[in-house]
């Protein structure tokens, strides 16, 4: 995720020379230099010196140790965290300051410039810093602000985990098409384009999703028969159950890693 953010920011938003990345692995540091031409270091605290923005792209279980060891940042340095489940309260407690913090829930399509990110800001984040955070995430897709920090748990279940739900559905279609006799190449191409087309149509259309479904579902036709099976198998209810499970896990992670 950090690499996708760097790639999105360069060259249109931030010059590579203005970005410094702390990475513990020698091989990965060399890759980042080759890919982006950014500055690299193995020392987190070197990143903090003179930084206006510090992005915390650290696994939740490591965040406490990493943040508590940071030194040299200024009182108004903006911290942007992309770690699931780590609250602003915990981050500020580990920092020992009330530095402005923006929490972000991104998703993996940011790797190809189609990310969907939700942001929540602490009270100490000013409008300029909000614009900085928003522009960073917009460089790899779209972003939107949520009103409550707890909304990020809902976002985690929606767009954070969501790509896997859609990929599972696409895979099921591809596997069945191959089983029915299509080649893997044809099945993949048609399924992927259908998913892209459906999402694009839904996004650009003035109709809501229910209306769009009705428009493609002719009475007595093939889609109607397929939808009958999906509804009889309670697919919408299964999706809702999966959503709830992801949201509850996000809430549990907040308890698990924020102490």
Give the pLDDT score at 209.
Answer: 97
> Taking Cα atoms as reference points, which of 89, 77, 123, 83 lies closest to residue 103?
83
β-sheet bridge partners, residue 117:
143
Domains of the chain: 2-149 (3.40.50.720), 162-254 (1.10.3730.10)
Give the pLDDT score at 1.
Answer: 84
Three-state SS at 115: strand
Report the alpha-carbon angle 224-230-233, nearest 5: 140
Rounded Cα–Cα distance for residues 86 and 256 (Å):
9
Cα dihedral value 155, 158, 163, 168, nearest 10: 150
Q: Cα dihedral sign for 143, 148, 153, 157? A: negative
Please check whether residue 62 is in contact with residue 91, taking contact to mean a CB–CB distance below 8 angstroms. no
Give the pLDDT score at 257.
Answer: 79
Give the pLDDT score at 122.
Answer: 95
Neighbours of 4 (CB within 10 A): 20
Q: How many CA atoms lie within 13 A of 75 on its CB side?
A: 1
Give the pLDDT score at 147.
Answer: 94
Give the pLDDT score at 24.
Answer: 92
- Cα distances (angstroms) measured from residue 12 to each of 16, 31, 138, 140, 242: 10, 21, 12, 12, 38
Question: Which residues in the chain show pLDDT less than 50?
Answer: none
**Which runs of consecutive H residues, i.e. helices, occur in the chain?**
2-9, 26-36, 44-48, 60-68, 88-95, 127-138, 151-155, 162-180, 184-204, 209-216, 222-232, 235-257
> Taking Cα atoms as reference points, which of 100, 96, 106, 93 lies closest to residue 122?
100
């Amino acid at each position: 995720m950090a690499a996708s953010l760097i790639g999105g920011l360069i060259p249109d938003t931030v010059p590579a020379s203005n970005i410094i990345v702390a990475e513990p692995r020698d091989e990965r540091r060399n890759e980042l230099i080759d890919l982006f031409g950014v500055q690299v270091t193995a020392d987190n605290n070197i990143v903090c010196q003179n930084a206006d923005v510090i992005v915390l792209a650290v696994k939740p279980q490591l965040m406490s140790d990493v943040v508590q060891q940071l030194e040299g940042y200024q009182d108004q340095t903006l911290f942007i965290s992309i770690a699931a489940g780590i609250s602003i309260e915990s981050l500020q407690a580990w920092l020992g300051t009330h530095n402005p913090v923006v929490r972000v829930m991104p998703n993996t399509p940011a790797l190809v410039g189609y990310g969907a990110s939700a942001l929540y800001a602490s009270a100490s984040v000013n409008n300029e810093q909000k614009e900085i955070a928003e522009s960073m995430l917009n460089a790899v897709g779209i972003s939107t602000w949520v009103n409550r920090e707890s909304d990020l748990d809902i976002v985690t279940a929606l767009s954070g985990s969501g790509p896997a739900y859609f990929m599972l559905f696409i895979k099921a279609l591809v596997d069945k098409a191959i089983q029915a006799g299509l080649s893997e190449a044809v099945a993949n191409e048609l399924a992927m384009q259908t998913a892209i087309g459906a999402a694009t149509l839904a996004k650009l259309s003035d109709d809501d999703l229910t209306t769009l479904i009705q428009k493609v579902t002719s009475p007595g036709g093939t889609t109607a028969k397929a939808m009958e099976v999906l509804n009889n198998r309670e697919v919408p209810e299964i999706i809702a159950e999966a959503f709830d499970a992801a949201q509850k896990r996000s809430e549990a992670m907040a308890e698990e890693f924020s102490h």
